[in-house]
């Protein structure tokens, strides 16, 4: 591959920054988020959104708590123009939300843009022109000074148009498109002259939005560029320093985060990172990254699947199952050691919460492998652990416990895990918790009734304190046998009775518990028995604890007989 055709970014833009303190700062509060899904995201769609889809997206963004929303490029198409008119006419814009509209630096486009916002209560008109050398030379065919003049001419025209609307609350934003490939002294000069022209002040600030239109460098380079602008922009208190990273190198989120450290106050991006080429920076990831640091993102993600559903509908693009925070599989572990750690972590979390008298949803979160509590974004715990051939005993035990109330004895878990693995290995597919229950039932419960040794009838009595008798009719070797045994408990007496028909049984381990609380709850028993030289686990499930225990021994005996 001819890598010599490409030039490092350092040869193209040099940031005159010698000292930097941004790497040691922290992001301690949310920036002003500005979703551009309805403009930049929309212009990347094969089928742009119609009014109905745009409205659905707009309502979602409002419901999530965004306070400034870019709604379109009204001079680009009738659809975009009509949508802005729809917002103006329908009164869909809440009092605390400002809509922004986008335009190139051309008189005809500016006029159409200003016409579109008639009647909207608050607007931000966003003017852009590319400033980087290649764009100046190749696209616009203008020198540095000519591009500067073009921008000031357009900014003046916009100002005049706005002044023709006294009383309308119109503010301005300027984007030097491809900021990140523009000479810092030039872009600074352009931005400062726009600030002056629009006479920005602290109570009526201008937004200077500095895009990484095409991401070309490591995020520290972009952060240096932002730090340089932060330090040198004139009337700094009258400027809202905004960033607009794209994701060509896959580091859009890192660019935005480092830019915030370097002084940015506002971030433009799209939900789940839709947008031109590899997308705009993903606002969901950015905001939830903050959330995981204990910072309020000021945006509501409590039902992330509802957000995803609307975005997928409006963009007609499916979300990757591994997409940060919103992907279907991002809270799910299939592999054994991760499942084990998560299961232990969840149990530990529940205990810590109980010890402190806190609700689990309020207790500090520290569960291995899960950077966020899935419950906080409206996900269920059911999907956290899923079983395939790479799963281990910890995950399987967790699912049986949480979904079916079965707390398998620790020594039984490897046994069931081997059975699960055989099935998942040979089928190559995932097993649901219902599949696990079914496998548990057929493996450990059914043999009590299906095996070669069956109890036709039985009863047990305590003949004296600590002395029990077990009387039964057994179906064994195709005939019914009446037998009796005694011992210090009902199970010992059952083992003794089995011995009388030539089935020597040692009960090695035994455990039991109720599966739920309250009347009608089932009990489950687990017994590990050695029959001659074969050792097997069995289980019993009944509303009677005694019946469950008897069945568990019979199941183990039958499994041994069949092995």
Ligand X SMILES: CC(C)C(=O)C(=O)O
Ligand Y SMILES: CC(=O)SCCNC(=O)CCNC(=O)[C@H](O)C(C)(C)COP(=O)(O)OP(=O)(O)OC[C@H]1O[C@@H](n2cnc3c(N)ncnc32)[C@H](O)[C@@H]1OP(=O)(O)O
Least separation in angstroms between CB 430 and ligand X: 40
Q: Which stretch binds ligand Y (CB under 6 A): 55-63, 73-81, 190-198, 326-334?
A: 73-81
| 268 lies in the site for ligand Y, by CB under 6 A | no
Contacts 24+ apart (CB under 8 A), 103-106: 103/73, 103/74, 103/75, 103/127, 103/128, 103/158, 104/75, 104/128, 104/129, 105/129, 105/150, 105/151, 105/153, 105/154, 105/155, 106/154
432 binds, among ligand X, ligand Y, none (CB under 5 to 8 A by kind): none
209 binds, among ligand Y, ligand X, none (CB under 5 to 8 A by kind): ligand X
Q: Strands 534-542 and 523-531: what pairing?
A: antiparallel
| 73 lies in the site for ligand Y, by CB under 6 A | yes
Residue 289 labelled as part of a binding site? no
Q: Strands 467-476 and 479-487: what pairing?
A: antiparallel
| 70 lies in the site for ligand Y, by CB under 6 A | no
- CA 235 to chain CA mean position, Å: 40
Binding residue for ligand Y, selected from 9, 30, 63, 104, defined by CB under 6 A: 104
Taking CB atoms, the residue at the shortest distance from ligand Y is 76
433 binds, among ligand X, ligand Y, none (CB under 5 to 8 A by kind): none
Least separation in angstroms between CB 20 and ligand X: 24
Least separation in angstroms between CB 84 and ligand X: 17
Q: Which stretch binds ligand X (CB under 6 A): 107-115, 207-215, 259-267, 412-420?
A: 207-215
| 202 lies in the site for ligand Y, by CB under 6 A | no
Binding residue for ligand X, selected from 98, 113, 213, 391, defined by CB under 6 A: 213
Site for ligand X in 215-244 (CB under 6 A): 244
Q: C-alpha angle 127/133/139, rounded to 5°?
A: 65
Site for ligand Y in 123-152 (CB under 6 A): 128-130, 139-140
Residue 50 labelled as part of a binding site? no
- At residue 265, the 3 state secondary structure works out as coil
Number of residues that bind ligand X (CB under 6 A): 9
SS (H, E, C) 174-220: EEEECHHHCCHHHHHHHHHHHHHHCCCECCECEEEEEEECCCCCCHH
Neighbouring-strand partners of residue 462: 468
Measured between alpha carbons, how far is 74 from 39 in angstroms, rounded to an integer?
9
Of 61, 98, 33, the closest CA to residue 267 belongs to: 33
| 128 lies in the site for ligand X, by CB under 6 A | yes
514 binds, among ligand X, ligand Y, none (CB under 5 to 8 A by kind): none
Number of residues that bind ligand Y (CB under 6 A): 16
Name which of 125 and 491 has its Cβ closer to ligand Y. 125
| 209 lies in the site for ligand X, by CB under 6 A | yes
**Contacts of 532 by beta carbon, 8 Å cutoff, 6+ apart:** 504, 560
Q: Which stretch binds ligand Y (CB under 6 A): 2-10, 91-99, 105-113, 194-202?
A: 105-113
- CA 442 to chain CA mean position, Å: 36
SS (H, E, C) 243-262: EEEECCCCCHHHHHHHHHHC
Least separation in angstroms between CB 82 and ligand Y: 14
Binding residue for ligand X, selected from 40, 68, 230, 528, defined by CB under 6 A: 40
175 binds, among ligand X, ligand Y, none (CB under 5 to 8 A by kind): ligand X
Radius of gyration of the chain (CA): 34
264 binds, among ligand X, ligand Y, none (CB under 5 to 8 A by kind): none
Residue 280 labelled as part of a binding site? yes
- At residue 381, the 3 state secondary structure works out as helix
Site for ligand X in 449-468 (CB under 6 A): none
| 113 lies in the site for ligand X, by CB under 6 A | no
Taken as a whole, the chain contains a residue count of: 563
Name which of 83 and 291 has its Cβ closer to ligand Y. 83
Site for ligand X in 241-260 (CB under 6 A): 244, 246
Quote the crossing angle between the two packed helices 51-64 and 78-90, to the nearest 10°: 50
Least separation in angstroms between CB 321 and ligand Y: 28
Name which of 126 and 308 has its Cβ closer to ligand X. 126
- Provide the 8-state DSSP code for 224: H
Binding residue for ligand X, selected from 37, 68, 80, 177, defined by CB under 6 A: 177
What sign has the CA pseudo-torsion 265, 268, 269, 270? positive
Name which of 213 and 443 has its Cβ closer to ligand Y. 213
Name which of 40 and 224 has its Cβ closer to ligand X. 40
Which residue stretches of 51-143 are H helix?
51-64, 78-90, 107-116, 133-134
Least separation in angstroms between CB 49 and ligand Y: 13
Binding residue for ligand X, selected from 75, 98, 175, 285, defined by CB under 6 A: 175
| 492 lies in the site for ligand Y, by CB under 6 A | no
> 212 and 180 in contact (C-beta within 8 Å)?
yes
Residue 224 labelled as part of a binding site? no
Least separation in angstroms between CB 409 and ligand X: 60
| 177 lies in the site for ligand Y, by CB under 6 A | yes
Measured between alpha carbons, how far is 176 from 152 in angstroms, rounded to an integer?
12
**Contacts of 538 by beta carbon, 8 Å cutoff, 6+ apart:** 444, 447, 448, 526, 527, 528, 529, 551, 552, 553, 554, 555, 556, 557, 558, 559
244 binds, among ligand Y, ligand X, none (CB under 5 to 8 A by kind): ligand X
Least separation in angstroms between CB 331 and ligand X: 32
Q: C-alpha angle 58/73/153, rounded to 5°?
A: 140
Binding residues for Mg(2+) are 40, 244, 246, 280
Q: Give the interface with ligand Y as residue ranges (CB under 6 A).
A: 40, 43, 73, 75-76, 104-106, 109, 128-130, 139-140, 177, 213
Binding residues are 40, 244, 246, 280
Q: Give the interface with ligand X as residue ranges (CB under 6 A).
A: 40, 128, 175, 177, 209, 211, 213, 244, 246
């Amino acid at each position: 591959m001819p890598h010599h055709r490409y030039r490092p970014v350092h040869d193209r833009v040099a940031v005159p920054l010698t000292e930097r303190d941004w790497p040691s700062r922290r992001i301690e509060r949310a920036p002003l988020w500005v979703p551009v899904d309805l403009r930049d995201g929309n212009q990347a769609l094969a089928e742009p959104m119609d009014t109905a889809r745009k409205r659905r997206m707009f309502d979602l963004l409002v419901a999530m708590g965004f306070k400034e929303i870019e709604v379109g490029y009204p001079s680009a198409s009738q659809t975009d123009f009509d949508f802005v008119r729809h917002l103006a006419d329908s009164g869909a814009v809440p009092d605390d939300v400002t809509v922004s509209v986008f335009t190139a630096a051309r008189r005809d486009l500016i006029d159409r843009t200003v016409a579109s916002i008639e009647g909207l209560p608050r607007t931000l008109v966003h003017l852009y022109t590319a400033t980087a050398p290649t764009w100046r030379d190749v696209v616009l065919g203008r020198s540095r000074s000519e591009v500067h003049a073009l921008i000031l001419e357009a900014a003046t025209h916009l100002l005049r148009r706005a002044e023709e609307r006294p009383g309308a609350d119109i503010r301005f934003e300027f984007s030097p498109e491809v900021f990140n490939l523009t000479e810092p002294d030039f872009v600074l000069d352009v931005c400062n002259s726009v600030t002056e022209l629009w006479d920005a002040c602290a109570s009526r600030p201008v937004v200077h939005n500095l895009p990484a239109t095409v991401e070309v460098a490591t995020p520290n380079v972009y952060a240096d560029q932002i730090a340089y602008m932060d330090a040198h922009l004139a009337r700094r208190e009258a400027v809202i320093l905004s960033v607009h990273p794209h994701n060509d190198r896959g580091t859009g989120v890192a660019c935005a985060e480092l830019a915030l450290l370097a002084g940015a106050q506002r971030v433009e991006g799209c939900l789940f990172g839709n947008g031109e080429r590899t997308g705009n920076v993903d606002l969901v990831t950015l905001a939830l990254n903050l959330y995981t640091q204990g910072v309020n993102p000021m945006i509501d993600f409590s039902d992330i699947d509802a957000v995803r559903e609307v975005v997928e509908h409006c963009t007609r693009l499916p979300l990757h199952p591994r997409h940060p925070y919103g992907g279907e599989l991002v809270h799910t572990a299939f592999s054994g050691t991760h499942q084990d750690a998560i299961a232990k972590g969840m149990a530990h979390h529940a205990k810590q919460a109980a010890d402190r008298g806190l609700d689990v949803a309020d207790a500090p979160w520290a569960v291995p492998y899960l950077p966020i509590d899935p419950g906080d974004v409206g996900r269920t715990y059911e999907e956290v652990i899923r079983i395939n051939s790479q799963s281990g005993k910890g995950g399987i035990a967790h699912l049986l416990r949480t979904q079916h109330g079965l707390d398998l004895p620790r020594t039984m878990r490897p046994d069931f895990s081997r059975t699960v693995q055989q099935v998942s290995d040979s089928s190559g597919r995932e097993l649901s918790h219902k599949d696990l229950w079914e496998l548990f039932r057929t493996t450990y419960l059914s043999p009590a009734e299906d095996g070669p040794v069956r109890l036709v009838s039985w009863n047990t009595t305590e003949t004296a304190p600590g002395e029990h008798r077990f009387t039964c009719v057994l179906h064994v070797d195709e005939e019914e046998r009446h037998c009796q045994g005694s011992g210090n408990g009902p199970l010992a007496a059952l083992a003794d009775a089995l011995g009388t028909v030539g089935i020597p049984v040692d009960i090695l381990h035994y455990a039991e518990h109720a599966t739920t609380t309250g009347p009608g709850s089932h009990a489950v028993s687990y017994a590990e028995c050695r029959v001659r030289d074969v050792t097997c686990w069995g289980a019993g499930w009944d509303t009677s604890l005694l019946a469950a225990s008897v069945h568990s021994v019979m199941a183990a005996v039958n499994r041994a007989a069949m092995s």
